[in-house]
Each structure stands twice: as C-alpha cells, then as structure tokens.
A and B are shown apart, each in its own frame.
Chain A
Amino acid sequence: NAGVMQNPRHLVRRRGQEARLRCSPMKGHSHVYWYRQLPEEGLKFMVYLQKENIIDESGMPKERFSAEFPKEGPSILRIQQVVRGDSAAYFCASSPRGIGGNTIYFGEGSWLTVV
C-alpha cells in the first residue's frame, strides 16, 4: 500500500509566479490535510478536506492560497503570486476518517523556494 505521495518534492518559483503542490492520499483515505513548516518551526495546520469539500480552512491565509480535493485525482494546494515568505516545506497527510479516531499519515513534503 503506497504511502501519501506528494509532488513535486522540490519546487523553485520566482516572486509573482504560481505554485501548485499535489498530494495523493493513501489508498482508501478520503481525508486530506495540508500543513506548512517554516524553517526551525513545527508544522502549522492549513486546511482539512474531504472529497469535494473543505471542512476546515482556519489555517489558510485569506489571500493567494487555495486548496481542493476533487472527486477524481489528487488534492492540490495552490499558491498564487508567491512571495519570499511562502518559502517553506508543505506537508500533506491523509486518514481514512477524521484524526480523532485514527492516525494520520504524512507524505514526505514538498519544498517550495521562492527566489
């Protein structure tokens, strides 16, 4: 059973460009979470999605960031007009149901560098 797959692993974007990060959850998992890790920091929650629904986006910046988890295909975290402060590791995680009763499994992260 393949783990949580994220791509790209490393992404370099110039200021003002768009970044798209993809996450394929573990097989059978319908809950996806995105977290951001700034240098020397712990992970910070961004958004929690189920298929076609955003359940909790309380950690998402109000502007430039969006996330989706369509019926078919991977979950996408999209960052428009990137700035240097967006440089971070973005982790995706998945679970078969909400965390409370289950363990969530993290992917290996996508490292975004904005130059």
Chain B
Amino acid sequence: AQTVTQSQPEMSVQEAETVTLSCTYDTSESNYYLFWYKQPPSRQMILVIRQEAYKQQNATENRFSVNFQKAAKSFSLKISDSQLGDTAMYFCASLKGGSQGNLIFGKGTKLSVKP
C-alpha cells in the first residue's frame, strides 16, 4: 500500500528564521504527484506547493520550496523567513498511482512560529 510518513509531530521556529519539514513516501509508480497542504487553526486545507515526480526541478512558491529526492523518496518542505501566519498543521500528500482522486496524506506536522 502507498504510504506517506511525516516523522516530526511538532516543530517550532522563530519568526524570520528557516524551517524544514520532513516527508517520506513509498510508491511503486514511476509517475506521481506530491503535495504539501497547510491547515491553519481555521481548519481549511490550503495547497502550499505541488511537485510532479517526472520534473527534476524542485518546486518553489515564494517563501516555500521543496527538496525532492526521488531516489530516496523524500519530499521535504522548506519555509524561509517564517511568519506568524505560517503557524499551522502541515500535511504531506501523494497521489495514489492509478487513481485520479485518492490523495494519501501523512499524519501532519504541527508548526509553531514564535515571535
């Protein structure tokens, strides 16, 4: 079965500093998609960043970037210049091979940004 593992239940970072959230996954597919979602206290799920496995280049969205290591099946999220509004649960997810709708989520990392 496809799995996504986030090994850091909680993390904290000082405002303006950089933090990296870890994610590893397991899939037998050759092509797949990986995602990071943010869930702030409002509980809405917000897409942070998306990576297509066949693309070598790491995805970047403003202060958010990923380190995609395909051979190691690792997909970490780096948040630069952390802001108080980044405080949230962060979920890593993969698209199940052969499915168009079945995202597999990790258990999440609770990130606290401290002033």
Contacts and interface: CB of A to CB of B under 8 A. Distances in A.
Contact residues on A (Cβ < 8 Å of other chain), bracket:
20 to 34
Interface in B36-58: 37, 42-47, 50
A44 interface: yes
B100 interface: yes
B105 A108 contact: no
Interface residues of B, number: 24
A99 to B, nearest CB: 6
The CB with the most chain A CB atoms within 10 A, among B4, B50, B91, B105, is that of B105
Contacts of A109: 43-45
Contacts of A31: 100-101
Nearest to A91: B45
Nearest to A40: B107
Interface of B: 4, 33, 37, 42-47, 50, 91, 93, 95-96, 99-108
